[in-house]
Amino acid sequence: MIDRGLLLWFPGPNSFTGDDTIEFHVHGGSAIVSAMYDSLGAFPDTRLAEPGEFTKRAFYAGKMDLTEVEGLADLIHAETEAQRRQALRQANGQLSHFYNSMRSRLVKAIASVEAYIDFAEDQDVDDGVLDATLVEVESLIAELKSHLDDNRRGERLRNGVRAAIVGAPNVGKSSLINLLSQRNVSIVTNIAGTTRDIVESHYDIAGYPVILADTAGLRAFTDDIVESEGIARARAYVDAADLLVLVLDATKLEQPARVDLHLREYAKSIGLSDETLARAMIVLNKCDLLTDAMVDALKTNTSLNLISCKNEAGLPEMLDRMKTRLVQLCGNPLTECPTISQERHRYHLKQCLKQLERYRNYFADTLVGDRDLAIVTYHLRAAVRSIGKITGSVETEEILDVIFSTFCIGK
């Protein structure tokens, strides 16, 4: 007797892996699990599964393709709601359907060209077939370019948005990251230049994964060699960050109307470009030290986020605006078409696009009498293989099937 539990029988091919499968549902104590392993391991030819082996068996059994496998892995590791939604859509085959639809259209295009090559002389296959194929290729090129022009939203959502909190020394950068995390992530003192290195912390903001980095205070000059290295690292992080949170000391502003000028002067003094400044969230900290009239005047500038790390005033409003930025950076998995979530997908899609453009350009650059369709069709085949490498389906027999089913040749 090991435990009182439940045994479930899943006959293939309708199980997850396609194999006949038995599941033992027992209590989760380590002693019970260990005893189950020992007992089951006593049977001949029985071993522990390798990492991912059940999913690998499901893939080889045709239960899912590679995009669904990757979606399942992402779903298991999802830490935020937006990540879960994106991974679930991919695991359920929405991305797979998009790629397989594109691949099917390419297979039909290849079948059309090959039918023209083999049967144009003695069968009813005219030049309109080639024109229709070229139109289809043009349409696929446009769709691929649109799909690739996604600002890497899916990958950013999968891996996390890198956000850098930057600003001059002692403006409240470390206080802000401590406030967001509700714990002492960074050391806070009244001594300028306390933060010397990049301090990263992971957050779930409105369902989106964010990696917030507290950085060294940026200033034009310091004679401290350690602080100087921290500033250099902060600049490098700013260049690579997806989102910038620029914190200013509100008490340093002399006039509300001069905020923009103050920003430009500060950015220029520390070497931040206008482009970098334009993509930053501007946060004015220490607003609890301002007069009510000053606060009201600053609120007329809707690009500013007024907060106080001391009493947490303005924090909900700042987070709402940050959510808007995060939606822009990562998209909305509930409403948008499935996006590219893996660098592997992007690479093969670019290869597919390159081959389709070569096919199109061949017809534009080559005279009708000089065209070798048998050779140029290679580009379409290469495009099909590129998509097949994404889904894990690289087969060529389908092309012959499409030829005979579509053109009814041989009657």
Residue 316 sits in which domain range? 155-330
Contact 253, 267 (CB under 8 A): no
Same domain for 326 and 355? Answer: no
Give the pLDDT confidence score for residue 185 in this predicted structure: 59
Q: Where are the alpha helices (DSSP H) in 64-93?
A: 66-77, 81-91
Same domain for 169 and 128? Answer: no
Same domain for 197 and 216? Answer: yes
User: Which CATH number does the domain housing residue 353 bear?
Assistant: 1.20.120.430
Residue 335 lies in a domain: no
Positive or negative torsion for Cα 110, 113, 119, 125: positive
Same domain for 174 and 320? Answer: yes
User: Which CATH number does the domain housing residue 238 bear?
Assistant: 3.40.50.300
Contact 308, 176 (CB under 8 A): no
Same domain for 230 and 309? Answer: yes
Same domain for 128 and 258? Answer: no
Domain's final residue, options 299, 330, 361: 330
Give the pLDDT confidence score for residue 111 in this predicted structure: 86
Distance of CA 259 to the CA centre of its chain: 35
Count other Cβ atoms within 10 Å, centred on residue 224.
12
Domain's final residue, options 305, 330, 355: 330
**Strand runs (DSSP E) across 229-357, as ranges?**
243-249, 280-285, 304-306
Digits of tens for pLDDT over the chain (411 positions)? 999 999 999 998 999 999 999 999 999 899 999 999 999 999 999 988 888 888 888 888 989 888 998 888 889 889 999 999 999 999 999 999 999 999 999 999 988 888 777 665 555 556 677 888 899 999 999 999 999 998 899 999 999 999 988 888 888 888 888 888 766 655 555 555 555 567 788 889 889 999 988 887 777 666 677 777 777 788 888 888 899 998 888 888 777 777 778 778 877 777 778 788 888 899 999 998 888 888 888 888 888 899 998 888 889 999 999 999 999 999 888 777 778 988 989 999 999 999 999 999 988 877 666 777 778 889 999 999 999 988 887 655 555 555 445 444 444
pTM of the model: 0.80
Looking at the structure of the chain, the number of domains it has is 3
Q: Which two tokens stand for residue 210?
A: 């964010």
Contact 247, 173 (CB under 8 A): yes
Bridge-based pairing of strands 199-205 and 208-214 is: antiparallel
345-384 per-residue burial string, b: 16 or more CB within 10 A, e: under 16: bbebbebbbebbbebbeebeeeeeeeeeeeebbebbbbbb
Same domain for 324 and 233? Answer: yes
Same domain for 268 and 374? Answer: no
Same domain for 175 and 322? Answer: yes
Angle (CA) 211-217-222 rounded to 5° is 145
Same domain for 39 and 121? Answer: no
